[in-house]
Chains A and B, each alone.
Chain A
Amino acid sequence: GAGVSQSPSNKVTEKGKDVELRCDPISGHTALYWYRQSLGQGLEFLIYFQGNSAPDKSGLPSDRFSAERTGGSVSTLTIQRTQQEDSAVYLCASSLGRASSYEQYFGPGTRLTVT
């Protein structure tokens, strides 16, 4: 079956512009995660959606970052007034649910470059 998909695969934007990154999780997966990975670094947790519960936004680095998940499926991560330090690969992952054993399946990522 289809895996997690993300779009666009690459995005180059000018400093100060807003960007939207999209994630389509695996069908039936109720949990969705966003991570950021800077060059040579580990994954930095950003936000986590689980079903209809309020999202865990504890990893969002500033109020310029926001995310929503419509209809329990597709998610959009929005970065307003982009800064050069926002340049990174943004990875989305989904899993079957909250149970601790459920592995996360990652999408291919969106490489964001802020010039």
Chain B
Amino acid sequence: GQNIDQPTEMTATEGAIVQINCTYQTSGFNGLFWYQQHAGEAPTFLSYNVLDGLEEKGRFSSFLSRSKGYSYLLLKELQMKDSASYLCAVRIQGGKLIFGQGTELSVKP
């Protein structure tokens, strides 16, 4: 079966750094995606990792370790608008994405 785990919710302070972890056990692996979803809106793409290591994109970075089945999303200089759900998703053989349940991040002033 397919299993993707991430914390249900996290709270952080404006201006701080937060790390959202994701572990996965899937049949096949063709890349890992992070999406951001604000309440009532569609998910939007944040990052993609297929090789081990860190991908940096402005305030957001994503890390992957394929041997450990582990990824994290790092958000720096948190802003209130970063309050959202963050979805970890693994692309498996054949092209489809398997999503985790999402991590609800609340940024407090």
Contacts and interface: CB of A to CB of B under 8 A. Distances in A.
Q: A and B from one assembly?
A: yes
A101 B101 CA distance: 22
Contacts of B97: 33, 43, 45, 104
Contacts of A45: 96-99
B44 A106 contact: yes
Interface in A47-105: 48, 50, 56, 58-59, 91, 98, 100-101, 103-105
Interface string B79-108: 000000001010100111111111000000
A106 B42 contact: yes
Interface residues of B, number: 22
Given A33-B96, A42-B100, A56-B94, A105 B87 contact: no
A100 B30 contact: yes
A109 interface: yes
Nearest to B30: A100
A45 B101 CA distance: 12
B87 A42 contact: yes
A48 B94 contact: yes
Given A43-B99, A48-B95, 5 more contacts: A42-B100, A44-B99, A48-B96, A50-B95, A98-B95
